[in-house]
Structure 1
Amino acid sequence: MKYEVDQINDLIENRRAIFPKQFTEEPIASEVLTQLLENANWAPTHRRTEPWRFVVVRGEARARMGDILADLYLKNTPTEKYSERKHLKKASNPRRSAAIIAICMKRHEELLPEWEEIAATACAVQNLWLTATAYGLGGYWSSPSVIKSQEIRAFLELPEDQICLGFFYLGKYSSEHPKGQRNSIAEKVRWLND
């Protein structure tokens, strides 16, 4: 066998959402981030459109991103629904992360339906996430409604033919995370043999 299937199974089963509040704020080497993105780039893609695009937010840009997210929360949240905890979280999540990878997608309207390119981009994120897990890094894909805002588009410097599908918060963590649970695959599969 070319690969140790048990190791692959273990990697997949241990992939978890690890949230920024669990991050240690230690930096992640550029070489590691590059490898995550290289592996993301090997996602399956119909017609080889490779629609995924990434914007890596590091350093001081994390604080700017946090300020923008907090401002957008204030701007878009009715007074009666305002939560100080959520407001502070919007500002602190980027600052606590070693890096944030904006998950973006370039549309090829003339070639493929949008859902196929969203699916391909999600596959790229899974590759990235599994690689992060293999490195012992935590990650969390967040897709707040503000990803479509002009403020976020301007911050990410997105061209007109690209959209943002969310933010992948990335960081080192030291705490243990609980073992994941899934319902049995038998509940989700039908076999047609005859």
Structure 2
Amino acid sequence: MSNTFDTIASIIKNRRTTKPPEMNGQKIPDEQITALLELADWAPTHANTEPWNFIVYAQPKLFGQQHAELYKANTPANEYMQMTYEKLLNMPNKASHVILCTMQRKPLTRIPVLEEIAATACAMQNILLGATALGLASYWGSGGMIHSPAMKQYLGLGEDDVVLGALYLGYSDTKPTGKRNIPLSEKVTWVK
């Protein structure tokens, strides 16, 4: 195998999730965030629609405040939990940057929505793999209000647009471990 394959395989196999509270608050240079977004922009895209869009929070506490307030404003009183509000408020406190990732449909596109979502997810994966190559910690968050109609409205998205998640990026003093729970042989069928 080539050195290039070995390098890519190592990055893919060593990518791990680090939850934002496990990050240490150290700032990533904005230039590195820009470089990660450039990787995202090279994701596969059917008919070159490039449906991904990113909102970068260089001050992640601002995202925490906005996310928590969105939860508070859009949750019925009988379902509201102060603990959830506090979690959303404080989740990004130790992250360096938060990137909200959205799939935005182009007018009159014939590409199936699923393919546009998949393309945007590939763009997000490119960010995560690039972050791993740079020695950064990362977390793909989809909780709280991320998938809610209120978040779509807050971001000014259209009916067919989708918020895929928030990528929390930072540094961590610990290295998470990982494993696969299901053997690959149980997930692959060869047809010869």
2: CA distance between counterparts of 1:138 and 1:82?
31
Structure 2 length-normalised TM: 0.86
2: CA distance between counterparts of 1:76 and 1:50?
31
Letter paired with 1:112 = I
Letter paired with 2:176 = H
Letter paired with 1:106 = Q
CA contact (8 A) 1:27 1:98 kept: yes
CA contact (8 A) 1:40 1:125 kept: yes
2: CA distance between counterparts of 1:117 and 1:100?
22
1: CA distance between counterparts of 2:150 and 2:76?
20
Match of 2:98 among 88, 97, 100: 100
Q: CA RMSD in A?
A: 2.3
Q: How many residues align?
A: 189
Q: 1:37-95 deviations in whole A, cap 9, x for unaligned?
A: 01111111111111111110112xx3332122222333445666555443222001223
Q: Which position in structure 2 is the counterpart of 1:58?
A: 58
Structure 2 unpaired stretches of 5+: none
Tell me: CA distance 1:38–1:19, structure 2 relative to 1, closer, same or farther (3 Å): same
2: CA distance between counterparts of 1:9 and 1:2?
11
- Higher percent of residues as helix: 1
CA contact (8 A) 2:61 2:93 kept: yes
Tell me: CA distance 1:159–1:75, structure 2 relative to 1, closer, same or farther (3 Å): closer
Question: Percent same amino acid among aligned pairs?
Answer: 38
Q: Which position in structure 1 is the counterpart of 2:113?
A: 114
5 Å-filtered alignment, 1:28-177, equals 28-59=28-59, 62-77=60-75, 82-108=80-106, 109-144=108-143, 146-147=145-146, 148-150=148-150, 153-154=153-154, 156=155, 158=156, 160=158, 162-177=161-176
